[in-house]
Amino acid sequence: MLKIAFIAHDRKKEEMVNFVTAYEPVFTDHQLYSTGTTGLRIMEGTSLKIHRFESGPLGGDQQIGALVAQNEMDLIIFLRDPLMAQPHEPDINALLRLCDVQGIPLATNIATAEILVKALDRGDFAWRELVHKYKPEAGLNSGDSE
């Protein structure tokens, strides 16, 4: 069971709902997370249960980012609107950076999302189980000095 997060900017929410609806059987056996309104819209359009955080501008991106920083998220689908400035752009950039740091697969458009979900459906995410199995215990960072 993987942890998957959905985030969508306002003009991409309908696209996200349509996408998740199309792949609902793939997502059924996973732990699902989302920012507030996106998660609500997905739950209204599907039978999926989603843990909802705050909306993005109110800190939802950062809440998901906290899980990414701890390597507790396995896949993020973040349908961004590249044609609209976002007031919480620094939070978005921080989330993208954290995904790069932790090696978390991240789709920022529908084409990449589809490729990742098809890989998920094939079982190509088994490597994430190894990440969790061999994850260092909290507080045991080798770079910490006392």
Binding site, annotated residues for substrate: 9, 13, 35-38, 55-56, 88
Name the phi and psi angles at 32, rounded to 5: -115, 140
Choosing from 10, 61, 74, 124, which is the catalytic residue?
A: 61
Domain count, the chain: 1
User: Is 87 among the domain residues?
Assistant: yes
- Which residues lie across from 107 on neighbouring strands? 77
User: Is 33 among the domain residues?
Assistant: yes
| Structural tokens at position 42 | 């997905």
Domain that holds residue 74: 3-127
pLDDT in tens, the chain (146 residues): 999 999 999 999 999 999 999 999 999 999 999 999 999 999 999 999 999 999 888 888 899 999 999 999 999 999 998 888 776 777 788 999 999 999 999 999 999 999 999 999 999 988 887 777 777 665 555 455 44
Q: What is the CATH number of the domain that holds 102?
A: 3.40.50.1380
Packed helices 36-45 and 13-22: angle between N→C axes, nearest 10 degrees? 40
CB 50 within 8 Å of CB 6: yes
User: Is 142 among the domain residues?
Assistant: no
- Is 29 marked active-site? no
User: Is 63 among the domain residues?
Assistant: yes
pTM (2 d.p.):
0.87
